[in-house]
Structure 1
Amino acid sequence: MKFSYALLPDHSVEESLSTIQLADELGFHACYAVDETWHKDLWVLFAAAAGRTRTIRLGPSVSPMLLREPTHVAQALATLDELSGGRAEAVLSSGNVGLLEQYRIDPAGMRPLARTKEALHVVRTLLDEGAITFEGEFYTYDGLFTFARPVQRRLPLKLGGMRGPRIFEAAGEFADGCHHALSYTREAYGYMVEHLRAGAERAGKDVDSLDIGAWVVFATAEDSAVAREAARSMVGIYATAMSEEQLRRNGVDPAELRPVVDAVRAGDLARGIELTTPEVAERLSVSGTPEECVAKIRDEIAVTGVNHLICAVTDRTLVKAFAERDLPRVPEAREQLRLIHERIMPAFG
């Protein structure tokens, strides 16, 4: 299993760069960041990181196709690929519903899956051929070309999904894999892999050749209670993006979580955290000591065929920024990356 670091670029730029550099030195497969206005710009950050790293791959997970014009994403990816010597990749999706609401965009009327599939085709074509003539339902180009060319022969493009099943099947059929966000159980990942396989079979692909990623809220520390409290501070924020069926596949009754979601959406993060029970936080995160994290990854995630764990590391800085709580005993991201490297990654060969 590959291990990657999912960065929310809300630390100082220098701290983010030094943490990415450490992840590179420790052998993490990739560093991903969300391509959202809420955070510092990942493209600028990763351009700087490219010159300070050697092997770690870099790119968005995810880039929102309801906000980003796909040819601009292709241009940025090709440029990042040249800067990094062939280490760029991307995960595309329709976008974060909460962010889209702030742009007054209603995804329901925009056919988000169809648009994302068409955007994937546009990015793939421009990366592979350097030019595109295309008349689609959402995008139209007449001889558009670019001098931004990737180093890689085939720059990996994946789809990001949460609810399924159609996005998982589309990822299996048209993309190089899928990053499934915010799931933690055999049932949830078995569901994803089942539909990835169906899509891959339609395209004559082996599902095992795909990047099958689990994007998880993650916190680890020597003290289990400290790590779990960090995760509890963030679970409600992320849960606002989860559909009812996704919650059920993760063993959570939507009615149980509704007061948390309502509080968070109303801007009362303190109340949302107060209402998030330790039991719900444990179900909706990978958190605890390194050994406890190993057990959950092994028993609930790896067993389904997932071959890539993307750790959205929750540290003291993020908890303070998002939840306005200071938890001084929670390790910073650099320390957690070392714990993952030393005591979690070896368990998965």
Structure 2
Amino acid sequence: MTSHLRIGIFCPYDNHGLSHAAAIQAETDLVLKAEALGFDEAWISEHHFDAGSSSPSLFALLGYLAARTTRIRLGTAAVLLPFRPPVEVAEDIATIDILSGGRLDFGVARGGPFPEQNRNFGISPDETRPRMLEALHLIQQLLAEEDVSHRGRYFHVDRLRLTPRPLQDPVPTWIASASEAALDDAAAHGHGLMAGLTSTLDDVRQMLRSYRERNAAADPRLVVSRFYCSAATRDEAIAEAAPFLQQFFDRRRQLSAGPGALVPPTNIEGFLARSLIGSHDEVRAKLADLAVAGPRSVLLVPTSTEAARRCDLLETFRAHIVEGRPSD
């Protein structure tokens, strides 16, 4: 949509008090709207044991979206590798790459800090990062090599050939982490980076700087997610975005604290400042500043609790931010 920055959407599959079926339909509609408007990418989240989210079966959702779309790239944001068998993940990645005609981007994360995930999957928080990195190495081998043997700390395979094979060679891969170990691994293997919704401009610059210090020849292909809502005035945009953000962060703080913990309401002021929320002019300026920081892609989360309005906000972004139409 722009000559220098790819624009996509990030789909957290939050249900905002609706049924899970309605939430899945709403996010499907958002992806279809994004494709129709010319957005470049749609990335899908993975969450478990959360009544407010409808995306534990990430690969099932991606297979469905692959069948419903024709052009937009589809990404995993992100596969929680410590909780999944890597051979099955490699099979799913290859299958969905075929179903999508080679439109899949493979993002991974360690999954946290949500204690219910660790408890129910039986994985210690201390193990999640090394499990993620070992699983990722094994998946990369399975996707690229004919005969794979691996004996690691967590996973073993013997003379395994993956079938089917993906269309892309390689399947583009991202790591959603700014830890030193993850940056080392990403730079060493040429993986891209993913920055979260709450990252600051300084965070973005530091991730890129740290990556390039490790491997100046590789492209970090940084993908940054941002909450988005713009309107004729800043006050109008904040009034619409605030209920969405309040729900989003209150629920995630509760999940991080664990069942039964008392969590006071979140102060969302800082999150508003780090988001693409404000008047159309203000959001255009924020997006320009973000582009200068150096990411490859910016993923929007339209911040309205109403499903139809989230689709409308994508139209608003195209009209007033990309095309720069004056406010009505």
TM-score per shorter chain, which class?
0.7 to 0.9
2:10 is aligned with 1:6: yes
1:90 counterpart SS class? strand
Distance 1:220 1:168, change over 3 A: farther
Question: Which residue of structure 2 lines up, in the alignment, with residue 342 of structure 1?
Answer: 319
Counterparts of residues 55-70 of structure 1 (less than 5 Å): 55-70=71-86
Partner of 2:299: 310
Give secondary structure in 2 for the equivalent of 1:150.
Answer: coil
Whichever residue aligns with residue 66 of structure 1, its letter is: P
Residue of structure 2 in register with 1:227 after alignment: 237
Query: Measured at CA, do residues 222 and 334 of structure 1 come closer, stay the same or move farther in structure 2, by a change above 3 Å?
Result: farther
Question: Can you give the 5+ residue segments of structure 1 that lack an aligned partner in the other structure?
Answer: 243-260, 319-330
1:272 aligns with 2:265: yes
1:77 maps to 2:81: no
Give the conservation status (yes or no) of the 8 Å contact 1:7–1:33.
yes
Residue 176 of structure 2 aligns to a residue whose secondary structure is: strand
- Determine the structure 1 residue equivalent to 2:278: 288
Aligned to 1:100: 117
> 2:310 is matched with which residue?
333
How large is the Cα RMSD of the aligned pairs?
2.9
Q: Structure 2 counterpart of 1:272, which letter?
A: P
Shift of 1:268: 6.4
The residue type equivalent to 1:167 in the other structure is A
Which residue identity is paired with 2:126? G
Cross-structure match for 2:210: 195
Residues of 2 paired with 1:190 and 1:180: CA distance? 11
**How far, CA to CA, are the matches of 1:234 and 1:105 in structure 2?**
32
What does 1:1-349 correspond to in 2, within 5 Å? Answer: 1-9=5-13, 10=15, 11-37=22-48, 38=50, 39-40=54-55, 41-98=57-114, 99-101=116-118, 103=120, 107-110=124-127, 112-129=128-145, 131-161=147-177, 163-201=178-216, 205-206=217-218, 209-235=219-245, 265=257, 271-273=264-266, 276=267, 279-299=269-289, 301-317=290-306, 332-346=309-323
Cα displacement string for residues 288-343 of structure 1 (whole angstroms, at most 9, x for unaligned residues): 233322212222x222211210112222147xxxxxxxxxxxx6221111122223
Q: Is the 8 A contact 1:235 1:285 kept in 2?
A: no
Distance 1:174 1:114, change over 3 A: farther
CA–CA distance in structure 2, aligned partners of residues 182 and 336 of structure 1: 18
- Structure 1 residue 136, shift from structure 2 partner: 1.5
Q: Which runs of 5+ in 2 are unaligned?
A: 16-21
CA drift at 1:138: 1.9
2:70 alignment partner, SS class:
coil
Counterparts of 1:55 and 1:16 in 2: how far apart (Å)?
17
Amino acid at match of 2:120: Y
